[in-house]
């Protein structure tokens, strides 16, 4: 399954959103002069910022799916530099060993790939000058050969029942690169230097009432929603995986796994459309719910798209939320929490609305 256009709003709502975006300050949430802002906007005018890799206290990489670029961002000044371009649908990014790796989205349900000189669902590698690009692994090819979730892939006419492969995030670990492939419903482990691909984790299908309803599943013989893994985070010996839950309310899950075997050690359920996960050194979990609060159909008059989405924090069993609009990529590092926001504003017809923000603990209520 792919993240669909569930946020496609009426034209009037999209036009109104431009005003909303223009009115949001770079520093939001400060109660009085001198206070540290609850949500600090680091940079703006990103186009579909999905994947995020924070490299240090002053630098990050962002995968701009809409513009097909990997962008380096100075976390202090907000200055942006294009590292690599010409890869429409780029979803995840990670830096390893002096190289940059990125994953591209896969074909849609009709089998049409995004326009690119690279094959769909490819894991590619290039240097910091944007040179010497090459394909490391073809994840669609792996899905067609291995089909880890075991679902029926094609009808009698040879048409895919659903998206076969749609990589959504990429994370570097000591065990290799982990790719959350939402279309294939699995998390893959890829050796960055040899390109060898192996299945790391296949989340179970959620079976909430909405997921068991007629029409919830496109693939014949499959019971429950597609899990659709979207985010991967690593903390010590553990790997955390978030799932979209086929965009059904309450069907998204966070899994805690053994980093070597992929065995499930714990899980948290009941979320809506998770698109990213991060974990602090103290075990606090952060997750992005990109579609939270989105209307089921056309929005009512005056609908404010800035209210769509939120970040969720799980700390000592207590769940709190921060008002971050349409967050996707999220990462906790160097004592700070970073997230992309307005990441799917392109579905509203609003170009270059994406942001990278720093979220302070005081924003969670």
Residue 160 lies inside a defined structural domain of this protein = yes
Contact 273, 244 (CB under 8 A): yes
Residue 193 has pLDDT above 70, yes or no: yes
Residue 183 lies inside a defined structural domain of this protein = yes
Residue 3 lies inside a defined structural domain of this protein = no
d(CA 82, CA 85): 7
Nearest to 175 by CA among 232, 227, 125: 232
Q: Which helix (H) or strand (E) holds 11?
A: helix 11-23
Tell me the three state secondary structure of residue 211: helix
Tell me the three state secondary structure of residue 337: strand
Q: Which helix (H) or strand (E) holds 145?
A: helix 139-146
In Å, what is the CA distance from 56 to each residue of 14, 76, 197, 302, 318?
A: 36, 11, 28, 41, 29
Domain extent for 175: 11-363
For the CA atoms of 259, 175, 288, 357, the dihedral, rounded to the nearest 10 degrees, stands at 140
102-130 confidence digits (pLDDT tens): 999 987 666 666 677 899 999 999 999 99
pTM given for the model: 0.91
Residue 1 lies inside a defined structural domain of this protein = no
Residue 108, pLDDT score: 65
Q: What's the CATH number where 109 sits?
A: 2.120.10.30
In Å, what is the CA distance from 128 to each residue of 61, 81, 244?
A: 11, 11, 32
Residue 348 lies inside a defined structural domain of this protein = yes
Strand 285-289 versus strand 274-279 pairing type: antiparallel
Contact 318, 307 (CB under 8 A): no
- CA angle, 341 then 253 then 267, to 5°: 125
How many independent structural domains does the chain possess?
1
Nearest to 93 by CA among 57, 130, 141: 130
Q: Is 265 left (phi over 0), alpha (psi -120 to 50) or beta?
A: alpha
Composition of the chain by helix, strand, coil, percent to 5: 10, 40, 50
Nearest to 90 by CA among 59, 112, 60, 122: 122
The partner residues of 82 in beta bridges, in order of sequence, read 71
Region 233-254: what's the mean pLDDT? 95
Residue 302, pLDDT score: 84
d(CA 48, CA 302): 24
Residue 314, pLDDT score: 97
Residue 295, pLDDT score: 83
20-71 confidence digits (pLDDT tens): 443 444 445 444 444 567 999 999 999 999 999 999 999 999 999 999 999 9
Q: How many Cα atoms occupy the beta-carbon half-sphere of 311 within 13 Å? A: 36
Residue 19 has pLDDT above 60, yes or no: no
d(CA 205, CA 355): 32
């Amino acid at each position: 399954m792919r993240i669909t256009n569930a946020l496609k709003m009426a034209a009037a709502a999209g036009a109104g959103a431009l005003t909303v975006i223009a009115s949001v300050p770079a520093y939001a949430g400060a109660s009085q002069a001198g206070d540290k802002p609850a949500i600090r906007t680091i940079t703006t005018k990103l186009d579909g910022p999905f994947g995020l890799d924070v490299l240090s206290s002053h630098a990050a990489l962002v995968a701009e799916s809409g513009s097909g670029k990997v962008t380096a961002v100075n976390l202090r000044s907000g200055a942006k530099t294009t590292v690599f371009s010409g890869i429409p649908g780029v979803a995840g990014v990670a830096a390893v060993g002096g190289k940059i790796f990125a994953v591209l989205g896969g074909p849609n349900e009709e089998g049409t790939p995004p326009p690119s000189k690279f094959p769909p669902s490819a894991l590619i590698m290039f240097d910091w000058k944007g040179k010497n690009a090459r394909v490391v692994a073809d994840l669609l090819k792996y899905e067609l050969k291995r089909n880890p979730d075991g679902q029926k892939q094609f009808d009698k006419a040879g048409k895919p029942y659903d998206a076969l492969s749609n990589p959504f995030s990429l994370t570097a670990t000591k065990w290799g690169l982990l790719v959350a492939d939402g279309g294939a419903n699995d998390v893959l482990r890829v050796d960055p230097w040899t390109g060898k691909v192996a299945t790391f984790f296949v989340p179970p299908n959620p079976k909430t009432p909405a997921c068991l309803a007629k029409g919830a599943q496109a693939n014949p013989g499959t019971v429950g929603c597609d899990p659709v893994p979207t985010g991967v985070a690593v903390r010590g010996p553990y790997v955390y995986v978030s799932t979209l839950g086929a965009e059904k309310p309450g069907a998204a899950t966070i899994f805690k796994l053994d980093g070597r075997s992929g065995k499930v050690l714990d899980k948290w359920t009941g979320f809506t459309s998770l698109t990213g996960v991060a974990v602090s050194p103290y075990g606090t979990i952060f997750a992005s719910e990109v579609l939270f609060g989105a209307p089921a159909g056309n929005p009512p008059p005056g609908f404010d798209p800035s209210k769509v989405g939120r970040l969720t924090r799980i700390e000592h069993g207590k769940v709190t939320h921060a008002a971050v609009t349409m967050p996707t990529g999220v990462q906790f590092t160097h004592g700070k929490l970073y997230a992309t926001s307005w990441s799917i504003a392109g579905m509203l017809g609003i170009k270059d609305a994406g942001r990278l923000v720093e979220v302070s603990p005081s924003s969670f209520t």
